[in-house]
């Protein structure tokens, strides 16, 4: 079949993901479509593959510049002619693109919504075969991420009347879908809504006490792998990043309070596997298509299931096993509740938070619960969440429950959860004494149970509907009608045994180990090789090969080109470029004893194809990445510091993966900016240099101009 052949040839994949094939066939039939697929479901393929078969260009509207560059780089890495057009490019890059358009050689063109009008001067409507609107929810004010520039897309269908249109998004309920179709003028478009299940994500929830220790335990399983840790506040992002960095992890913080340039550089380094872990607020992730994120951790509880689901969706896009870990703490819930109360539609938000909390406290299959939220129902338990993997033991907790419920009763339902526990445990703190509850009969009746365990048990009682939190009454606990039966009719209560911390740490997790058929030593060596090749080619490692491909190589150990071609993710283009490097590794592995192989890989310096002498910029940049200062680099390379600053500026312009801001202070930038016109007029630094009478060196002037221009052009 033609489509399948192309899938293998260009992308290296053997089969379609659910719905891809039907969608692609419809696109080839020139139908308008509305596609909803979860993150990582493979939406891009739905227009990328047809673009290779259509007569004419495929326009892809994409909201984020970083995402655009990423996708185009990935396509190019597969030998597909693609380009992008946005305001971050300088005029020579734009000219180059326009030349490519004129020669009609481009298959795919990514465009920012803001730039679409500009582009119309260079595009003949008849040359456009397909328009793909990615992240289409941005067009709808009903969607969660409305972008004004997207409303300009309303005219696309009129301007390019011959082209068919496909709108794609990961989040759109029925109302949003209707709105998207209406606005894009494709009201009759056929809808495809894929399953939201992501079976390769292991779902785990753990109690949020001692998070850092739990985190360290968890990270042992993910040595050198990429992951995102979501925190509630900017401050907690920074604190956690500091703590982890102090423990030797490769980590950075990311939140909206950081300088734009710095954030971009964190993102870029994360994409390239140069930073492994990012501690972020939910501002992070939208612009990232990185396929090898192996874990997403919620250090704090998300405020609703939609957000949670979208965030965990950023793990495991490549389809390889990945982990979504959520820390659940009562304190977070209270805090989120307070936020919700202060917001506009607090009732809805509180109800959503309640669902989130129920999910976190579930004693039944989490995936079933999660999917049911999106009106999708599984017939069986998933077998890949912590509940399924560790079916809890239950015990007869009737007496324990009676103690708690009776204390609530005797305190006239005027105590919060914390106070209840204090009273049960016979605490003598000020709150207890002031309340006078030390005189009730159940005071101290639960001394034998630890504070934390009481908390867990009471949450279970709440979950079972025996207690309610009166959120509008200072979070006091109230008895429900069912509680009466337990208190006065001796109705039995079963509670789940709380796992001990060491049991929690030893809990079965589906991703603890790579599957046993994977040769771990070979896999590690393959990763190392991938990193070397990526840095030579200036690509993100996952663009060389995904984790899934490396795992497949490690499992099957191909020894010649034919066998290598069979590996998932190896298409014709990558076969040509990479087969020999990877095959020499697999052959070596096959021939040597494992221990010798490990020794060989560890001791050999990378087989560097020397960077050409002419790439003097990159030589400085590599030293910078090695942690050397500008001064040191200048000494080693026997160049002027100014020259090195110039190199870093150049690199910043082309890749944004070095941080140049520390070398200059803001007031100097502002000072130079006030005379920016002098530079602009002559497109040379000399007039500036002369104006400031030499008080700024050429290197500093170059830095300032770079920063000024980056700022001007940033969207």
- In the complex, the residues that contact ligand ADP under the rule CB under 6 A are 13, 16-17, 20, 37, 39-45, 289, 291, 317-319, 546
Burial (CB < 10 A; 0-12, 13-18, 19+), residue 662, is: exposed
Tokens of 29: 């039939």
* Contact partner, 316, from Mg ion, ligand ADP, none, Cβ < 5-8 Å per class: none
* Contact partner, 16, from ligand ADP, Mg ion, none, Cβ < 5-8 Å per class: ligand ADP
Q: Which is nearer to ligand ADP, 49 or 432 (CB)?
A: 49
In angstroms, the CA 41 to CA 310 distance is: 12
Sign, Cα dihedral of 128, 130, 135, 140: positive
* Strands 251-254 and 190-193, bridge-based pairing: unpaired
Q: Which is nearer to ligand ADP, 419 or 533 (CB)?
A: 533
Residue 312 CB, nearest approach to ligand ADP (Å) = 13
Residue 43 CB, nearest approach to ligand ADP (Å) = 3
Q: Do residues 707 and 667 touch, judged by C-beta distance below 8 A? A: no
Q: Which is nearer to ligand ADP, 198 or 403 (CB)?
A: 198
Q: Which is nearer to ligand ADP, 45 or 407 (CB)?
A: 45
Interface residues with Mg ion (CB under 5 A)? Answer: 43
* Contact partner, 291, from Mg ion, ligand ADP, none, Cβ < 5-8 Å per class: ligand ADP
* Contact partner, 679, from ligand ADP, Mg ion, none, Cβ < 5-8 Å per class: none
Residue 68 CB, nearest approach to Mg ion (Å) = 11
φ/ψ (deg, to 5) at 105: -95, -15
In angstroms, the CA 223 to CA 244 distance is: 13
Q: Which is nearer to Mg ion, 319 or 558 (CB)?
A: 319
Residue 18 CB, nearest approach to ligand ADP (Å) = 9
Q: Which of helix, strand or coil describes residue 133?
A: strand
* Contact partner, 537, from ligand ADP, Mg ion, none, Cβ < 5-8 Å per class: none
Residue 17 CB, nearest approach to ligand ADP (Å) = 4
Residue 16 CB, nearest approach to ligand ADP (Å) = 5
**Nearest of 544, 547, 546 to residue 533 by alpha carbon:** 544
Q: Do residues 399 and 502 touch, judged by C-beta distance below 8 A? A: no
Helix (H) / strand (E) element for 648: namely: helix 641-655
Q: Which is nearer to ligand ADP, 16 or 309 (CB)?
A: 16
For 184-210, the DSSP string reads TT-TTPEEEE-----TTEEEEEEE-TT
User: What is the 8-class DSSP label of residue 32?
Assistant: -
Q: Which is nearer to ligand ADP, 41 or 646 (CB)?
A: 41
Q: Do residues 37 and 134 touch, judged by C-beta distance below 8 A? A: no
CA distances from 11 to 77, 554, 567 (A): 10, 19, 11
Q: Which of helix, strand or coil describes residue 283?
A: coil
Q: Which is nearer to ligand ADP, 48 or 456 (CB)?
A: 48
**Nearest of 138, 160, 150 to residue 58 by alpha carbon:** 160
* Contact partner, 78, from Mg ion, ligand ADP, none, Cβ < 5-8 Å per class: none
Residue 189 CB, nearest approach to ligand ADP (Å) = 18
In angstroms, the CA 250 to CA 706 distance is: 28
Q: Which is nearer to ligand ADP, 457 or 578 (CB)?
A: 578
Q: Which is nearer to Mg ion, 43 or 702 (CB)?
A: 43
Q: Which is nearer to ligand ADP, 62 or 349 (CB)?
A: 62
Q: What is the 3-state secondary structure (H, E, C) of 562-609?
A: HHHHCCCCCCHHHHHHHHHHHHHHHHHHHHCCHHHHHHHHHHCCCCCC
User: What is the 8-class DSSP label of residue 684?
Assistant: S
Sign, Cα dihedral of 265, 267, 272, 277: positive
Residues ≥6 apart with Cβ < 8 Å to 226: 270, 273, 276, 277, 290, 292, 293, 294
Helix intervals (H) in 254-397: 260-271, 305-312, 330-342, 346-360, 366-373, 386-389
* Contact partner, 26, from Mg ion, ligand ADP, none, Cβ < 5-8 Å per class: none
**Nearest of 66, 286, 316, 302 to residue 170 by alpha carbon:** 286
* Contact partner, 332, from ligand ADP, Mg ion, none, Cβ < 5-8 Å per class: none
Residue 548 CB, nearest approach to ligand ADP (Å) = 7
Residue 511 CB, nearest approach to ligand ADP (Å) = 18
**In degrees, to the nearest 5, what angle opens at C-alpha 51 toward C-alphas 654 and 3?**
125
Residue 89 CB, nearest approach to ligand ADP (Å) = 23
Q: Which is nearer to ligand ADP, 555 or 653 (CB)?
A: 555
* Contact partner, 17, from Mg ion, ligand ADP, none, Cβ < 5-8 Å per class: ligand ADP
Residue 579 CB, nearest approach to ligand ADP (Å) = 19
Tokens of 345: 């539609």
* Contact partner, 13, from ligand ADP, Mg ion, none, Cβ < 5-8 Å per class: ligand ADP
Residue 185 CB, nearest approach to ligand ADP (Å) = 23
* Contact partner, 317, from Mg ion, ligand ADP, none, Cβ < 5-8 Å per class: ligand ADP
* Contact partner, 302, from ligand ADP, Mg ion, none, Cβ < 5-8 Å per class: none
Tokens of 80: 């597909």
């Amino acid at each position: 079949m033609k489509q399948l052949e192309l899938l293998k040839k260009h992308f290296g994949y053997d089969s379609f993901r659910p719905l891809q094939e039907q969608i692609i066939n419809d696109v080839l039939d020139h139908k308008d479509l509305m596609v909803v697929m979860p993150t990582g479901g493979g939406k891009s393929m739905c227009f990328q593959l047809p673009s290779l078969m259509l007569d004419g260009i495929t326009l892809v509207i994409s909201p984020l510049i970083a995402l655009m560059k990423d996708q185009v780089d990935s396509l190019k890495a597969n030998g597909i002619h693609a380009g992008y057009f946005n305001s971050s490019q300088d005029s020579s890059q734009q000219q180059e693109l326009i030349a490519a358009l004129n020669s009609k050689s481009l298959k795919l063109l990514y465009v920012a919504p803001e730039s679409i009008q500009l582009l119309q001067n260079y595009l003949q409507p008849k040359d456009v075969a397909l328009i793909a609107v990615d992240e289409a929810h941005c067009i709808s004010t009903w969607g969660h991420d409305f972008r004004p520039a997207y409303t300009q897309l309303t005219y696309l269908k009129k301007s390019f009347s011959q082209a068919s249109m496909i709108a794609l998004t990961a989040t759109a309920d029925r109302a949003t879908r209707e709105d998207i179709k209406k606005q894009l003028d494709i009201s009759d478009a056929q809808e495809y809504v894929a399953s939201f299940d992501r079976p390769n994500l292991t779902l785990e929830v753990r109690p949020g006490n001692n998070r850092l220790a739990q985190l360290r335990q968890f990270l042992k399983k993910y040595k050198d792998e990429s992951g995102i840790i979501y925190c509630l506040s900017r401050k907690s992002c920074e604190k956690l990043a500091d703590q982890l960095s102090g423990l030797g992890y490769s980590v950075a913080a990311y939140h909206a309070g950081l300088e734009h340039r710095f954030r971009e550089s964190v993102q870029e380094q994360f994409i390239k596997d140069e930073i492994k872990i990012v501690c972020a607020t939910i501002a992070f992730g939208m612009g990232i298509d990185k396929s090898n994120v192996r874990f997403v951790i919620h250090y704090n509880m998300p405020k609703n299931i939609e957000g949670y689901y979208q965030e965990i969706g950023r793990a495991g896009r490549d389809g390889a096993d990945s982990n979504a870990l959520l820390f659940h703490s009562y304190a977070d819930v209270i805090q989120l509740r307070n936020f919700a109360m202060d917001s506009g539609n607090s009732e809805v938000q509180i109800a959503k938070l309640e669902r989130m909390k129920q999910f976190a406290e579930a004693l039944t299959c989490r995936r079933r619960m999660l999917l049911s939220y999106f009106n999708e129902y599984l017939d069986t338990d998933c077998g890949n969440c912590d509940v399924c993997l560790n079916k809890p033991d239950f015990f007869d907790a009737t007496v324990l429950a009676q103690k708690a419920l009776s204390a609530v009763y005797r305190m006239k339902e005027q105590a919060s959860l914390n106070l209840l526990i204090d009273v049960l445990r016979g605490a003598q703190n000020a709150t207890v004494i002031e309340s006078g509850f030390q005189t009730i009969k159940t005071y101290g009746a639960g001394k034998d149970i630890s504070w934390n365990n009481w908390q867990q048990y009471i949450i279970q009682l709440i979950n079972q509907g025996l207690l309610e939190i009166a959120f509008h009454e200072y979070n006091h606990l109230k008895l429900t009608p069912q509680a009466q039966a337990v208190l006065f009719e001796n109705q039995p209560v079963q509670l789940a045994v709380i796992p001990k911390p060491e049991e929690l740490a030893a809990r079965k997790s589906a991703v603890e180990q790579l599957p046993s058929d994977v040769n771990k030593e070979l896999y590690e060596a393959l990763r190392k090789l991938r990193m070397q090749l990526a840095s030579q080619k200036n690509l993100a490692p996952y663009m060389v090969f995904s984790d899934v491909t490396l795992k497949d190589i490690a499992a099957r150990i191909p020894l010649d080109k034919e066998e290598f071609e069979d590996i998932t993710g190896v298409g014709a283009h990558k076969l040509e470029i990479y087969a020999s490097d990877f095959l020499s590794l697999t052959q070596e592995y096959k021939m040597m004893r494992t221990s010798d192989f490990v020794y060989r890989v560890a001791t050999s310096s990378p087989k560097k194809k020397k960077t050409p002498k002419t790439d003097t910029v990159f030589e400085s940049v590599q030293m910078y990445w090695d942690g050397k200062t500008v001064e040191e680099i200048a000494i080693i390379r026997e160049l002027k510091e100014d020259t090195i600053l110039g190199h870093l500026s150049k690199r910043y312009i082309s890749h944004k993966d070095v941080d140049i801001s520390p070398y200059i202070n803001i007031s100097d930038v502002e000072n130079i900016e006030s005379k920016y016109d002098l530079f602009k007029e002559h497109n040379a630094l000399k007039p500036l240099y002369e104006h400031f009478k030499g008080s700024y060196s050429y290197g500093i002037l170059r830095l300032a101009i770079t920063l000024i221009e980056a700022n001007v052009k940033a969207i």
